[in-house]
Copies of this chain bind each other. A is one copy, B any other.
Amino acid sequence: MTPDISQPKQVRKKNRKQEIIQISLELLQTQGYENFSYQDISSALGITKASIHYHFPKKEDLGLALCGAIKQWHEDLFLNLRDSDHSAKDKLRIFVEALLSYAEGPYKVCPLSSLQADVAKLPDTLLPALQDLDRHELDFVSQVLEEGRQNGEFHFPGDAQAQASIFVLSLKGALQYSRIHGGEWISPVLQQLDQLLQASST
């Protein structure tokens, strides 16, 4: 007796909030935080601006939700990889593939890069969230590099934290340049980063 359709609407409505986050995340990566509007979201979803404001009264609320989604994305990736039995090389490769999946559709960059660019106009509560995400990402890469160096998979001089910075900054920069110059910017950079992790100081 009517057991299946007990909550048909609630399940659907719950998704609407996620739909907004999903399309907003794409808009963040393609247009930037200040350059996408509630109108863009409403056009993409086929509902009005006012409806978006029902789910996220202020744009700051939406921004925080986006940071939460990115944090979830990070944790799903980092926590799984940290305690896995993958080699350090594989851990790094999986991270790189995940980061570069941003570039699947054209003209997308890392969402953290987009937030960084608009930091001067960013709501106050978003800055600490952004700092937190940046740091966790770099800590993860730094740990993987150090682990790989200790077990002989990687060979690089100096501080692992600094090497991780160069690695992450180059990758995200390559995404940005790829959006400007179109051509295949990422492969050469990736190959060079790979070689640098097999180098030793003279």
Question: Chain A residues in contact with chain B, CB under 8 A?
Answer: 30-32, 34-35, 107, 113-114, 116-121, 127, 130-131, 134-135, 155-159, 161-163, 165-166, 168-170, 172-174, 176-177, 179-181, 185, 188-189, 191-193, 195-196, 198-202
A158 is contacted by which of B31, B170, B191 (Cβ under 8 Å)?
B191
Please determine whether A196 and B198 come into contact, CB atoms closer than 8 angstroms: no
Residue of A127, A130, A157, A162 contacting most chain B CB atoms (<10 Å): A162
What separation, in Å, do the CA atoms of A179 and B122 have in the docked complex? 13
A120 touches B35 (CB 8 A): yes
Number of copies: 2
Q: In the complex, given contacts A162-B192, A165-B189, A168-B173, what are 17 additional A-B residue pairs having Cβ atoms less than 8 angstroms apart? A: A30-B120, A31-B121, A32-B117, A32-B120, A35-B121, A119-B179, A134-B181, A157-B196, A157-B199, A162-B188, A165-B192, A166-B170, A166-B189, A169-B189, A170-B170, A196-B196, A199-B202
Cβ-defined contact, B35 with A118, below 8 A: yes
**Shortest beta-carbon distance from A47 to chain B in Å:** 23
A128 to B: closest C-beta gap in Å: 10
